[in-house]
Amino acid sequence: MATKNKCKEENDEKNGYKKIKASPAHSTAALIVDEPEDTDPWDLPELKDAGVPWSALDTKGKVLTVLISVGKLILLLGFLYMFVCSLDILSSAFQLVGGKTAGDIFQDNKILSNPLAGLVIGVLVTLLVQSSSTSSSIVVSMVSSGCENTSMHRKHIMMLTVQVAVPIIMGTNIGTSVTNTLVAMTQAGERNTFRRAFAGATVHDFFNWLSVLVLLPLEVASGYLFVVTKLITDSFEIQSGEAPDLLNVITDPLTESIIQLDASVISGIATDDPEAKNKSLIKRWCQTFTNTTLMNVTVPGPENCTSPSLCWVDGNYTFTLKNISETYNIKKCTHLFVDVNLSDMAVGLILLALSLLVLCSCLILIVKLLNSMLKGQVAVVIKKVLNTNFPFPFGWVTGYIAILVGAGMTFIVQSSSVFTSAITPLVGIGVISIERAYPLCLGSNIGTTTTAILAAMASPGETLADALQIALVHFLFNISGIILWYPIPFTRVPIRLAKGLGNITGKYRWFAVVYIICCFFVLPLFIFGLSLAGWKVLVGVGVPLLIMLIIIIVINILQKRKPGWLPAVLRSWDFLPLWAHSLAPCDKAVGVLIAKCCCCCKCCQAVSDDQEDRAEQLENNRTTHTAVYDNPAMSVENEAEDGIKIELNILKMTRL
């Protein structure tokens, strides 16, 4: 019992609780959160410099300080490089694990024609491949494949139209925001740091979900995004260009030496190419040559000819001229897995584990380095540059400059996930405020779409218009979201929601896992199931739930601001059971579960040692009693010997 109580006390102290003595008003000990109530948890902490001031250093000390600072900066850049490369490898791992599944999901056109189902598929596919660019390229391939199958003598098969693809593009915007939310989980060690980091990560989630909540019904009712982007693409004759390679020039040498993927396989599965289903995503040949020859081939009938002028019938045979392509392999790839005889799933799981290990390690080291570098005057300067507004009356300009900075940085790194994941730990340690992180995230949304637009302009002529329109849909969606949720301070709802969620996860850190599972898996699958059941089921179940949610939100707002407008019973939720309006019962259950797990891990060894000591003591007693076993006067000791034997056997069985 003493060991268990000790383990429980250690676990309580680790979780930020302290024990207080019982008073007449409280007959039992209580657990209270050990946090001061007079401080605002959202205030940026002061990063104090505990070192010797610069003015007090001699020449040798100054040189040594400069060398240490330069070394830390080089290490920081190196860890950032490994962090970006690990995100790239993580994306490849997710594509190997779920890429073919993602391609299969896109095949069912009936499901995709449902806007809600299309939205959810966009979320789930982006979660599988961890790249909105890959998801968008699949959509572009499907839209373009309909044009390629058009012929006078063949049935027109449209895999996907741009109008149907709009909800899928909205879904990809949501799915790509899970990466920085996962990155925030690595800072769960310290309560206030985790509160800020998780809020800084989820402000991106709330922006995307709220934008979808407004713009998806608008798109279904009016076709706003489709019509506007169609007018833009029809108004300009845009020539095909070349997509820029900025950060990829630096990261590709390392990532391509580890793994290279054939992205055309996923697109081929999505466009129902039978050959793609049996291909591996791992690229084996990096240089190939395709020879196309015009040859006479037999076809089942005249309707299968390429054109009436190129069709001949000879008895029971029909001939036509057709381009036959044959691919020759020239140069083999040189990455690590080119000759490995493993399935795509096995390679994907190996890369997933390694990339997550490197990602978390780099992130922890980056945070440690930043904490050691951002001290004293350096911290003051950086905080002033990042968080100070322009003087009146130009203070409102600061946020828009932050949007431009976020767009520019994302354009440089060519990934919104990389940029938002990089600023999440900065929000956690208190260098960037959440009010400044919000416009930076909005800018990253724009930056990733400008990269997609340039990539679309590098598409072939037959797919240029569709690829460009889809990229413009993504761009216009983010611009519309910014107009909805940023210009007026009152409309910056994502910041308030993120802070509310940050307060919850700061108090109940296990709730962060619940949020990720519910927001990115349970909720999308629930909506997907309702949409597949039909509009009647969707309206019958969804509308009452939506009305109930709106009523709860309104009551919560009135309870805080105008409680007098409510009946006495609705001025608080105390009339409900505690579990219905508080996470405290769930937290107690989780705490007990964690305490039991920790005590099992820590205390089992101690219990085992106690059992061994007890067994050794019993063995010694047994030896003593055996020495006097033949004495008739020792009958009581003989009975004790039998008891010792029984207890010894029980202990042995317990240890087994």
d(CA 85, CA 179): 14
Report d(CA 174, CA 172) in Å as an integer. Answer: 5
Q: Cβ distance 29 to 22 under 8 Å?
A: yes
- What separation in angstroms does the CA of 359 have from each of 419, 508, 597? 14, 25, 27
Q: In this predicted model, what pLDDT tens digit does every residue of 421-440 receive, in sequence order?
A: 888 888 888 888 898 899 99
> Tens of pLDDT along 525-573?
888 888 878 778 888 888 898 899 889 888 988 888 888 888 888 888 8
Model confidence pLDDT, tens digit, residues 7-32: 544 444 444 444 444 444 333 333 33
DSSP-based three-state secondary structure for 567: coil
> 174-178, 276-280, 468-472 — which is least confidently predicted?
276-280
Q: Which among 88, 170, 183, 87 has a CA at the least distance from the CA of 123?
A: 170
Q: What is the pLDDT of residue 246?
A: 58
Q: pLDDT band for 272, please (50, 70, 90 cuts).
A: low
Report residue 140 as tokens. Answer: 């572009």
Q: What is the pLDDT of residues 571-624, one digit of tens each?
A: 888 888 888 888 888 888 888 887 777 666 655 555 455 555 555 564 555 555
- pLDDT value of residue 599: 67
pLDDT at 649 over 60: no
Going by pLDDT thresholds of 50, 70 and 90, the confidence category of residue 38 is low
The predicted-structure confidence for 66-117, as pLDDT tens digits, reads as follows 888 888 889 888 888 887 788 778 777 877 776 666 666 666 556 677 888 8
pTM of model > 0.95:
no
Q: Which two tokens stand for residue 642?
A: 């039998």
pLDDT tens digits, one per residue of 287-334: 777 777 777 778 777 777 777 777 878 777 787 877 777 777 788 888
The pLDDT of 131-146, averaged and rounded, is 67
User: Which pLDDT value is given to residue 499?
Assistant: 92
Q: What is the DSSP letter of 33?
A: E
The mean pLDDT value for 456-460 works out to 67
d(CA 99, CA 105): 10
Average pLDDT over residues 383-395: 73
Could you report the per-residue pLDDT of 600-610, keeping only the tens digit for each? 665 555 545 55
How do 30-33 and 285-299 pair as beta strands?
A: unpaired
Nearest to 52, CA basis, from 39, 37, 68, 36: 68
CA distance 76 to 461: 43
Going from the C-alpha of 355 to that of each of 263, 467, 610, the distances in angstroms are 20, 31, 42
Buried b (16+ CB within 10 A) or exposed e, 66-100: eeeeeeeeeebeebbebbbbbbbbbbbbbbbbbbb
- Give the pair of three-digit tokens for residue 298: 């037999």
Q: Can you give the pLDDT at residue 481?
A: 93
Task: List 320's β-bridge partners, or say none.
Answer: 297, 311
